Amino acid sequence: MTLLSRPRGWLVAALCLASALALADDRKLPDYQSMDEAGVLSYEGYQDMRIGASSWYVAYQGNRSTPTDWIDSAWSARAAQVCQSVGLKYFVALRYPMEPVTPQDDIADSRRGAWDGWSQRDVAGFIPIPIYTPSAAPQVVTGPSKLGTVRCLSDPQSLKDPQRAVAVDQALRDARAAGVAVH
């Protein structure tokens, strides 16, 4: 009796084929796309979620063979695209969600009052981020990813440290130069 003639043989063969296709697909750079567009067997792409008036959580997942510098470029490209979509020309990668990066943030934070033990301040507070992190049968998916919060702005001089600002146009040019097919 062969594998394919057994009752579960076809299922096992299909899973083996799917694993082989997924491994073969790992050998190339991922397409620059949303995870939603990536397809059933793919775990590569970007996701983003608006978490504030001008802040987004951005994630990019690559495959096992994706260089980390490509992931950084793809992540920056997606951050640039979300800022561009709301008409802003710069972004800053935040070290943690709700990081105060402008003097106005510090003023707003000081008006909330001192820690009284009963309230929680917004800075570095817990924010649940429902972003899919792949790891499913038939194989454990391991690949580089970058996840982080960005704040979009129109003028880098509004930052406490203007050197941290990234121009949207420059991020997109750098991504294209790194081989990211930004559309």
- Give domain limits for the chain: 30-177
Q: Tokens for 173, please give them.
A: 């040019």
Per-residue pLDDT of the chain (183 residues; tens, 9 = 90+): 454 455 555 555 555 455 555 554 445 677 888 887 776 666 788 999 999 889 999 999 888 888 889 999 999 999 999 999 999 999 999 998 888 999 888 776 665 555 444 444 444 444 445 555 555 544 445 678 889 999 999 999 999 999 999 999 999 999 999 999 998
- How would you write 76-125 as a 3-class SS string? HHHHHHHHHHCCCCEEEECCCCCCCCCHHHHHHHHHCCCCCCCCCCCCCC
Question: What digits encode the pLDDT tens for the residues 150-170?
Answer: 999 999 999 999 999 999 999
Per the DSSP assignment, residues forming a β-bridge with 58 are 48, 148
Contacts of 128 by beta carbon, 8 Å cutoff, 6+ apart: none
Q: Tokens for 149, please give them.
A: 């919060």
User: pTM for the complete prediction?
Assistant: 0.70
Q: Tokens for 119, please give them.
A: 């309230």
DSSP per residue, 24-74: HHTTSPPPS-BGGGS-TT---EEEEEE-SSSEEEEEEE--TT--HHHHHHH
> Which pLDDT does position 125 carry in this prediction?
44
> Which pLDDT does position 117 carry in this prediction?
43
